[in-house]
Structure 1
């Protein structure tokens, strides 16, 4: 983390991070679309066991990086719901 001297510097750094987050989300969505090809039914797409594995993994990563695991979990649960919806549409194609 860069030590910022004012709010404009804070915001500029957040903007840089947001750009990277969106880039990574885009990359992740391509893998989600690709995964839909390998799944046989909607239960495979929803995969609650896998969801909980991902949540446990990211909570541990949050702790490792000094972040709040509850916030990371909430973000990931929301993201996963969105990606499952996207994958369901791809799966039905």
Structure 2
């Protein structure tokens, strides 16, 4: 099999995974929106202790699955920051 064919197959698999990942992010967003409406204030939304708890958890999961923990952490930090922004937008006015 040629390198070009192999690359095409790899890219197709990445596209399939992206579809799954986006669907999972959508499910996570639903929960984030619900949680954002329940939090008392913007400090509760930002919750730095909770962020670090999540980061610790996903780094451990990365180790269990063979993923690069630094890549997983960077991905989650970006995702968490985006979801914090979302939560702040959907919260009822104080």
Unaligned regions of 5+ residues in structure 1, if any?
A: none
Question: Is 1:53 aligned to 2:75, yes or no?
Answer: no
Number of residue equivalences: 89
Q: Is the 8 A contact 2:36 2:90 kept in 1?
A: yes
Higher helix share: 2
Unaligned regions of 5+ residues in structure 2, if any?
A: none
Helix, strand or coil for the counterpart of 1:6? helix
- Runs of 4+ with deviation above 4 angstroms: none
- Structure having the higher Rg: 2
Query: What is the distance in 2 between the residues matched to 1:15 and 1:92?
Result: 37
Task: Name the TM-score, length of structure 1 as normaliser.
Answer: 0.92
Q: Is the 8 A contact 2:33 2:90 kept in 1?
A: yes
> Aligned residue for 1:67?
67
Query: What is the distance in 2 between the residues matched to 1:65 and 1:18?
Result: 18
Query: What is the distance in 2 between the residues matched to 1:14 and 1:76?
Result: 19
RMSD: 1.1
